[in-house]
Chains A and B, each alone.
Chain A
Amino acid sequence: MNAPQSAADAAVVPTPFKTSTGFKLAMLALVVYAVYAMGQLGFSWGRFVTGLDNGAVFLGRMFPPRFTHMDQLERGIIESLEMAVLSTFFGVLLALPIAILGARNLMPVWVTWPVRIVVTLCRAFNPVIVGIIFIKAVGFGALAGILALMVSAIGFVGKLFMEAIEEISMKQIEAVRATGAGFMSVVAYGVIPQVFSRLVGFCSYQFDANLRNSTMIGIVGAGGVGSTLFNAYQRFEYDFVLAILISIILIVLAGEMLSILVKRIFDV
C-alpha cells in the first residue's frame, strides 16, 4: 500500500499550501488598480471623514423612525405589491412563448436569432433605465413601472426558460410527435411537463425580484413605495424615510418567504 517515499521524491514535493506567484501578482495588480481608481474618482481620506460626520448627523435625524403618514406608506406599499403581481404575471405570460420561439431545439435558426436578440436587449438594461424610457412614453405612475418590470421578467425568465427547454430530452418530444401531435400538443405534452418545476422556480424568483425592484423604481417616478420614499427624502423627512425603509425590508422578507413556500408546495 502506501510505501514510504524515497528521500529524492520528498525533495521534489513542493511546500504544501504554497500560494502561487500568479495569485500574488494578481492580488498586487488589484491593489494597484484600487489605488489608481480611487485617485481617478477623486476620493480622499478627508472627504470620507467629512462624510462620516455627515453620516452621524444623518443617522441622528433618522432615529427614531416615525410611523405617522401611514396612509401614504400604505398606498405606496399596496401599489408596489400590485405592480409586482401584474408585472410578474404578464411578464411570464409573454416570456413563455418567447422562450419557446428562442429554443434552438424546437425552432429553426431564422426564428431563434431575432428572439434571442430581443431577450438579450430586455436583460441588458436595468429596470430603472427601462422605467424612465416608459415614463416618457406612457407618463408617470404605476403603468410605466409595470411595463419596465415586465421587460425585466421577459429578459430573465425568457432566458432561463429558453435554456431549460434546450436541455430537455428529445426522446419524449419524438414520442409525442410520433403520435401525430401538432406543435401545440408537442409543447403541452412533451415540453412543459419536463420543465415545469424549473419554471415554478424561475417565476417565484422573478416575483421576488420584481417586488424588490417595484420598491425602488418609484425613485424615478414609476410608481410604488419608491415614490413615497423619494418624496419623503426630498422633504428631508429622514425619520419617515427610515420608517419606509423598515417597511420595505419587511415586505421583501415576506416576499422571500412566500416564494420559498410556493417552491415547497411545487417540490422545486
Chain B
Amino acid sequence: MSETRTDVPTVWQRHTTVEVLARNAVWLAIIIAVLVSIRRVNIIWEFLWDAPEQMSDLISRMWPIDFAYYPDSVHGALMETFHIATLGTLFTMVLGLPLAVLAANNITPYRVVNLFAKFWLVATRSVNSLVWALLFVAVFGPGPLAGMVAIAFRSIGFVGKLLGEALESVAPGPIEALKAAGASRFQQLWYGYWPAIRPAFWSIILLRWDINVRESAVLGLVGAGGLGMILNAAIDLFEWERVAMILLTIFIVVVVVEIVITRFRRTLI
C-alpha cells in the first residue's frame, strides 16, 4: 500500500491538549503565587541584604567550640532526648497498631469505624510535634513526659496511616486459607497479616524513630525536655560557643542514627 493514510495525525503530540493546558495552568499558578507572595509578604528587605554579614558575625562568635560544655550538661540532655525519642516510638508501636487495624477496610469492614480511626490518624498527623509539645506542657507541666507524649502523638498518625495502607494491600489469599482452616480473628491477624506486613512495620518504625530523634532535639524550645532546653538557654544567654557545641552534638547524633538505621534495615528486612 503506497497511498498515505489520512486517519493518523501528521504531527505527533506527546500529551493531549487538555493535559498541556492543565500543565500550563499549574506553571501559571506557581508564577502568580510567587509574585503575589513576594509583593505581599511582610519582609524588611534591608535585613535580607544584611544577612550574610550577620551570619558570618554569628559564626565567628561560635568559634572556638566550647568542648568542656559537653560532659557538663550536653551529655545528660542528649540522653534525655534519646530516651524521649525511643520511648515515644515504643508507645507509638503500641497505640498505632490498633488504630491501623481499625483503619484498614479489609480487616475492619465497617466504614464508620474506618472513618473514625482515619480521623484520629489525620488529626494527630497534621499537628506538628512542637505544637503537640506546647499543648502537653500545659497538661503535664514542663519536662520530658510532655515531650514523650508529644512525640508519641505525632507519630501515631504517621505510623498508623502507613501501616493501615500496608494492611490494606495484604494479599487476600493466605487470609482466606486461614479462614478456611478455621482460624479465629486473632489468629488471622497474627498468622496472616502480621507476617505480611512485618518488613513494612519495622521499616516504618525505624523511619519514624529517625525522625523522632531529630524532632525531640527541638522540643525543649517549648520546655519539653532534652537538648532543646539547653540550646534555648545558651541562645538566650548569647553563649555562642556552647550553641556550637550543641549543634555539633545534634549533627553527630543525626549522622550516627542514620548509619545505625541503614545497618538495621539490612538485617531486619
A137 and B87 alpha carbons, distance in the complex (Å): 35
**Contact between chains at B128 and A129 (CB < 8 Å):** no
Instruction: Chain A residues near B141: list those with CB within 8 A.
Output: 51, 54
A174-212 contact mask (Cβ, 8 Å, vs B): 1 or 0? 000000000000000000000000000000000000001
- Chain B residue nearest to A255 (CB atoms) is B126
Least distance between B214 CB and chain A CB atoms (Å): 6
- Chain B residue nearest to A137 (CB atoms) is B54
A220 and B79 alpha carbons, distance in the complex (Å): 24
**Contact between chains at B37 and A82 (CB < 8 Å):** yes
Q: Which parts of B128-150 form the interface with A (CB within 8 Å)?
A: 128, 130-131, 134-135, 138-141, 143-145, 148
A48 and B91 alpha carbons, distance in the complex (Å): 14
A233 and B223 alpha carbons, distance in the complex (Å): 14
Instruction: Chain A residues near B115: list those with CB within 8 A.
Output: none
A124 and B145 alpha carbons, distance in the complex (Å): 25
Instruction: Chain A residues near B112: list those with CB within 8 A.
Output: none
A99 at the interface (CB under 8 A from B): no
A145 and B143 alpha carbons, distance in the complex (Å): 26
A28 at the interface (CB under 8 A from B): no
Instruction: Chain B residues near A212: list those with CB within 8 A.
Output: 126, 128
**Contact between chains at B134 and A230 (CB < 8 Å):** yes
Given A47-B145, A86-B38, A265 and B23 touching (CB < 8 A)?
yes
- Chain B residue nearest to A212 (CB atoms) is B128
- Chain B residue nearest to A236 (CB atoms) is B138
Binds B, one of A5-13, A35-43, A105-113, A165-173: A35-43
**Contact between chains at B38 and A265 (CB < 8 Å):** no
**Contact between chains at B235 and A41 (CB < 8 Å):** no
Given A124-B250, A129-B231, A266-B23, A83 and B41 touching (CB < 8 A)?
yes
**Contact between chains at B87 and A142 (CB < 8 Å):** no
What does DSSP make chain A's interface, helix, strand, loop or mixed? helix
**Contact between chains at B221 and A219 (CB < 8 Å):** yes
Given A37-B87, A128-B218, A132-B221, A137 and B58 touching (CB < 8 A)?
yes
**Contact between chains at A85 and B33 (CB < 8 Å):** yes
B186 at the interface (CB under 8 A from A): no
**Contact between chains at B247 and A129 (CB < 8 Å):** yes
**Contact between chains at B83 and A37 (CB < 8 Å):** yes
Least distance between A216 CB and chain B CB atoms (Å): 4
Instruction: Chain B residues near A55: list those with CB within 8 A.
Output: 139
B55 at the interface (CB under 8 A from A): yes
Least distance between A34 CB and chain B CB atoms (Å): 5
A124 and B247 alpha carbons, distance in the complex (Å): 10
- Chain A residue nearest to B131 (CB atoms) is A216
A53 and B137 alpha carbons, distance in the complex (Å): 14
Question: Using a Cβ cutoff of 8 Å, how many contacts connect chains A and B?
Answer: 155
**Contact between chains at A78 and B40 (CB < 8 Å):** yes
A137 and B90 alpha carbons, distance in the complex (Å): 38
B198-219 contact mask (Cβ, 8 Å, vs A): 1 or 0? 0000000000000000110110
- Chain B residue nearest to A229 (CB atoms) is B131
- Chain B residue nearest to A51 (CB atoms) is B140
Given A85-B37, A124-B251, A253-B122, A58 and B87 touching (CB < 8 A)?
no
Instruction: Chain B residues near A41: list those with CB within 8 A.
Output: 80, 83-84, 87, 143-145, 148, 225
A136 touches which one: B58, B143, B144, B217 (CB < 8 A)?
Answer: B58
Give the B-binding residues of A (Cβ under 8 A).
17, 30, 33-34, 37-38, 40-43, 47-48, 51, 54-55, 58, 78-79, 81-83, 85-86, 89, 120-121, 124-126, 128-129, 132-134, 136-139, 141-143, 146-147, 212-213, 215-216, 219-220, 223, 226, 229-230, 233, 238, 241, 245, 248-249, 252-253, 262, 265-266
Give the A-binding residues of B (Cβ under 8 A).
19, 22-23, 26, 30, 33-34, 37-38, 40-44, 47-48, 50-51, 54-55, 58, 79-80, 83-84, 86-87, 90, 122-123, 126-128, 130-131, 134-135, 138-141, 143-145, 148, 191, 214-215, 217-218, 221-222, 225, 231, 235, 247, 250-251, 254-255
User: Which 8 pairs of residues, A with B, have the shortest CB-CB distance?
Assistant: A216-B128, A51-B140, A82-B37, A137-B54, A37-B83, A249-B126, A41-B144, A252-B126
